[in-house]
Amino acid sequence: MTNRPCALLDWIPTMWTADEIASLCYKHYSTKLSKTGLLDLRREWTLLAAVVKVEEMSSTKPCYSSARNDVALEVVAMGTGSKCIGQTKMSKDGNVVNDSHAEVTARRGFLRYLYYQLKEAFKEKNSILAASRHNGKCNLKPDISFVFFMSHTPCGDASIIPKAEHEITPCPKMTAKETGELREKSVQDNKSVEVGPSSNNEEYPQDRKRKCVKSPTQLSVKRVKSVHESGDCVSGCRSVSEGKPCHPSAEGSLGVRINNNHICATETIHLSSHDTAAPHIAGALNADESKQMQIKVSDIHRTGAKCVPGGLQDPHKPGVNYHCVESLRVKPGRVGQCPYNEEAMKRAILDRCRHITSLPKEFRVHDVTLLQSQLEFVHGRHSLQSSNEINTETFVPCAAAISWCAVPFHPLDVSVNGFKQGATKKILGTPQARSRICKAELFREFRELLTFLSDKKRPISLRNNTLKTYWKFKEAAANYQEAWNEIQKQAFVTWIRTPRDFLQFQ
Task: Please give the positions annotated as active site.
Answer: 103
Dist CA 380 CA 337 (whole Å): 10
* Region for 311 from its dihedrals, namely left if φ exceeds 0, alpha if ψ lies in -120 to 50, beta otherwise: left
What letter does residue 99 receive in the DSSP assignment?
Answer: B
CB-based burial label for 316 (10 Å; 0-12, 13-18, 19+): exposed
Q: What are phi and psi of 44, to 5 degrees?
A: -130, 150
Instruction: Give strand pairing partners of 184.
Output: 193
CB-based burial label for 15 (10 Å; 0-12, 13-18, 19+): middle
Q: Is 218:171 a contact under the CB 8 Å cutoff?
A: yes
Select from 112, 118, 107 the least CA-distant residue to 79: 107
Dist CA 98 CA 87 (whole Å): 8
Instruction: Give strand pairing partners of 144.
Output: 55
Cα angle: 374, vertex 378, 379; to 5 degrees:
130
Dist CA 138 CA 327 (whole Å): 9
Dist CA 404 CA 400 (whole Å): 13
For 43, the 3-state DSSP assignment is: coil
The whole-angstrom distance between residue 326's C-alpha and the CA centroid of its chain comes to 21
CA distances from 291 to 187, 358, 504 (A): 10, 34, 22
Dist CA 310 CA 8 (whole Å): 14
Q: What are phi and psi of 73, to 5 degrees?
A: -110, 135
Dist CA 346 CA 341 (whole Å): 9
For 292, the 3-state DSSP assignment is: coil
CA distances from 257 to 172, 177, 276 (A): 21, 24, 20
Select from 85, 104, 128, 54 the least CA-distant residue to 403: 104
Q: 476: which residues sit within 8 A by CB, 6+ positions away?
A: 319, 323, 461, 462, 464, 467
